[in-house]
Amino acid sequence: MTMPTSPTPSNAPRPLAAAGQDPTFHGRRVHFIGIGGSGMSGLARLVADRGGICTGTDASENPAVDSLRSVGIRIETGDAAIALPERCDLVVASAAIPPEHPSRVAATDRGLEILSYAEAVGRAMIGRTAVSIAGTHGKSTTTSMLAHVLVRCGLDPSFIAGANCPQIGGGSRVGADRLPSHPDPTDTGDRPGIFVAEACEFNRSFHHHRPTMALINNVEEDHLDFYESIDEIVKSFHDFARLIPAADIGGRLLIAHEGGHRREISAGLPCDVRTFGFSPAADFQVFFDAAAGRIGILDSGAFVAEWSSRLAGHHNALNAAAAGILAHWLGAAWDDIATALADFEGLDRRMQFLGTMPTADGGQARVFDDYGHHPSECEATLHALRTAERPQRLICVFQPHQHSRTRFLLEQFAHGFSQADLVLVPRIHFVRDSEEERRLISAGDLVERLRDHGTSAMHVHPFEAIVEHLEAIGRDGDLIVVMGAGPVWQIGRGVVDRGVHGGDST
């Protein structure tokens, strides 16, 4: 297909700008509890750039903490991480910090304002051209894709993503984000700057966002420890979409034509609503040639962009198309968008190739790492890897994340691993659930259900035993993918490192 040269569009939204300095953060002493997470660390950078005097605490040292210290943010870790600074005006707490945490208790006793991470992100969106990336799956990937395109197209965005993308310098960036102290009435550009952030539906936290435009990539059952049904989840997404302003002041929603519950979610919205997907009925139709890795976007039946993708899978084709459409709405030209998306290399822990493991028959197995922890994510990743890599065998190490998710979605998980020749299941990663919930299901229950559906599966624990088992059974031409949102990534790193060091990973 031959692409025409695209002129710079005039369809960029008008920013919902406010004059003067940012009243939420400028000149205020802001303390972050749990500052070392990908989202919190990015938010701390943004607040500091807006004139906030930032401090923070975290349970342990990590690269994000080191990076924040390098720009002058004082951070305490370990035993010292429970103290609240004597001088503090505002506290931002990670979603992982419980109300009984000593710093939160101290802040409450002092009468300080405490914001959740999502609330602080919503405050940071006010006065910006804010883009919220929502959906059950693909938020981190699409956020990073969009950020990459905007940077490459010279639109200088700020962004916060939930995963590390080395190509764009990590999971966050501060671009042309400051409000002007003396606005120039002759400046018709998109200032103040673009701010892109993930919008998570858990605990309805995305209801705190204040987007100018938003993406709803897909909507499925998840977080059923919080939501009672898919109907309640769909309503929550509808309430989120209602936060987008009216079309006449730049409000726009891009929603999946298939799998996005678009009719229920978009009903009665004052913003401009457009759909995307593989269906010819979508406003933006997406074409994907899996064998060639070619992606194309049609607008009103005409190709506007086409590129060769480095990322496998139909799900990544949709993620990329959504990022491209949003970038065009923000002012990027289609030709530049296609060039940038063709150059996108991916994120850590998203179908990430780690290296090879020597096998006992003298060959090698290729090892991948993936964050997938929902049945649909697992199925999409396994299908993409089998299609792209064509292994002799596909061996999956899957650690379920949360007992409640495993129990509620057990039947979906049983169907989601049909592409694997063997599934090894360690213990369920215990997160957020009660001890009672923990007793209701085990990894053995998942293994039994997988076998009932014809998938070869076995429960192996601890992680060291899985590494040894993979070394014992691996054959030349195998593909090993380690999946899950918990510490299961250590297994993939372990088999590769042991291979490099001749069986000694220390």
SS3 of 45, please?
helix
Statement to judge: residues 173 and 296 lie in one domain: yes
- Positive or negative torsion for Cα 419, 422, 428, 429: negative
Residue 251 has pLDDT above 50, yes or no: yes
- 96, 132: one domain: no
Mean pLDDT value of segment 43-64: 91
Identify the domain boundary among 73, 97, 120: 120
Q: Quick one: which H or E segment has residue 13?
A: none
Q: What was the pLDDT predicted at 175?
A: 83
**pLDDT for 96:** 82
Determine the Cα–Cα distance for residues 191 and 168; give it in Å rounded to an integer. 22
Q: Where does the pLDDT of residue 433 fall: very low under 50, low under 70, confident under 90, or very high at 90 and above?
A: confident
User: Per the domain annotation, does 87 fall within a domain?
Assistant: yes
Give Cα separations from 215 to 103, 146, 235, 284, 291 (angstroms).
35, 11, 16, 13, 28
Residue 455 in tokens: 């998938």
Rounded to the nearest 10 degrees, the angle between the axes of helix 489-500 and helix 463-473 is: 50
- Give the pLDDT band of residue 294 (cuts 50, 70, 90): very high
Co-location of 338 and 371 in the same domain: no
Q: What is the CATH number of the domain that holds 243?
A: 3.40.1190.10
Give yes or no: residues 145 and 54 share one domain.
no
pLDDT recorded at residue 445? 92
pLDDT in tens, 216-227: 999 988 888 889
Residue ending a domain, among 277, 312, 342, is 342
Q: Can you give the pLDDT at residue 118?
A: 94
Grade residue 474 by pLDDT with cuts at 50, 70 and 90.
Answer: very high
Same domain, yes or no: 399 and 437: yes
| Same structural domain, 79 and 175 | no
pLDDT of 259 reads 87
Closest CA to 500 of 321, 357, 382: 357
Burial of residue 119, with CB atoms counted within 10 A of its CB: 0-12 exposed, 13-18 middle, 19 or more buried: middle
Whether residue 272 is contained in a domain is answered as yes
Residue 424 tokens read as 């090894």
Q: Is the pLDDT of residue 190 over 50?
A: no
Is residue 398 domain-shared with residue 443, that is, in the same domain?
yes
Q: Provide the residue range defining the domain that includes 97.
A: 29-120
Please state the rounded mean pLDDT for residues 460-468: 93
Output the domain CATH number for residue 397. Answer: 3.90.190.20
Give the DSSP per-residue string, 199-241: E--GGGGGGG---SEEEE----S--TTT-SSHHHHHHHHHHHH
Residue 435, Cα to own-chain centre: how many angstroms? 28
pLDDT, position 21: 57
User: pLDDT tens across 106-140, in order?
Assistant: 999 999 999 999 999 999 999 899 999 999 989 99
Q: What is the mean pLDDT of the chain?
A: 88
Q: Is residue 23 part of a domain?
A: no
Q: What share of the chain is helix, strand, coil (3-state, %, to 5)?
A: 35, 25, 40
Residue 470 belongs to a domain: yes
Q: What is the 3-state secondary structure (H, E, C) of 275-330?
A: EEECCCCCCEEEEEECCCCEEEEEECCEEEEEEECCCCCHHHHHHHHHHHHHHHHC
349: left (phi over 0), alpha (psi -120 to 50) or beta: left
Instruction: Report the alpha-carbon angle 336-337-341, nearest 5.
Output: 120
Question: What is residue 478's three-state secondary structure?
Answer: strand
Q: In this predicted structure, what is the pLDDT of residue 216? A: 97
pLDDT at 455 over 80: yes
10 lies in some domain: no
pLDDT at position 171 is: 79
Report the pLDDT value the prediction gives residue 123, as an integer from 0 to 100.
94
Residue 198 pairs in a beta bridge with 133
Residue 122, C-beta contacts closer than 8 angstroms, at least 6 positions apart: 208, 209, 210
Residue with tokens 């009468």: 111
Rounded to whole angstroms, the maximal C-alpha distance in the chain is: 72
Residues 386-397 as b/e (b if ≥16 CB within 10 A, e otherwise) read bebbebeebbbb
Lowest pLDDT segment from 81-85, 144-148, 434-438 = 81-85
Residue 59 sits in a domain whose CATH number is: 3.40.50.720
Last residue of a domain, which of 120, 154, 170? 120
User: Do residues 165 and 189 share a domain?
Assistant: yes
Looking at 59-63, 473-477, 481-485, which range is the least confident one?
59-63
Do 206 and 173 share a structural domain? yes
Decide if pLDDT at 41 tops 80: yes
Return the structure tokens found at 79.
């035993």
List the one residue out of 158, 168, 161 whose CA is nearest residue 192.
158
Q: Quick check: 14 pLDDT over 70?
A: no
Q: Measure the CA–CA gap between 143 and 171, rounded to whole angstroms.
A: 9
Mean pLDDT for 353-357 is 95
Helix (H) or strand (E) holding 40: helix 38-49
CA atoms within 13 A on the CB side of 95: 17
User: Quick one: 238 and 261 in the same domain?
Assistant: yes
> Confidence band (pLDDT; 50, 70, 90) for 297?
very high
Nearest in space to 261 (alpha carbons), one of 284, 229, 238, 227: 238
How far is the C-alpha of 468 from the C-alpha of 478, rounded, in Å? 16
Count of domains forming the chain: 3
Band of residue 2 on the pLDDT scale cut at 50, 70, 90 = very low
Cis status, amide bond into 98, omega within 30 of 0:
no
Same domain, 188 and 71: no
Token match 């979508």: residue? 282
Tens of pLDDT along 192-214? 589 999 999 988 999 999 999 99
- Domain membership of residue 16 (yes or no) is no
pLDDT at residue 1 greater than cutoff 60: no
How far apart are alpha carbons 326 and 280 in whole angstroms?
A: 19
Confidence of residue 177 (pLDDT cuts 50, 70, 90): low
- Count how many Cα atoms sit within 13 Å of the Cα of residue 421 in the half-sphere of its side chain: 15
Q: Is residue 419 part of a domain?
A: yes
pLDDT band at 24 (very low <50, low <70, confident <90, very high): confident
Q: Are residues 201 and 331 in the same domain?
A: yes
- Look-up: residue for tokens 């000149």? 27
Is residue 12 assigned to a domain?
no
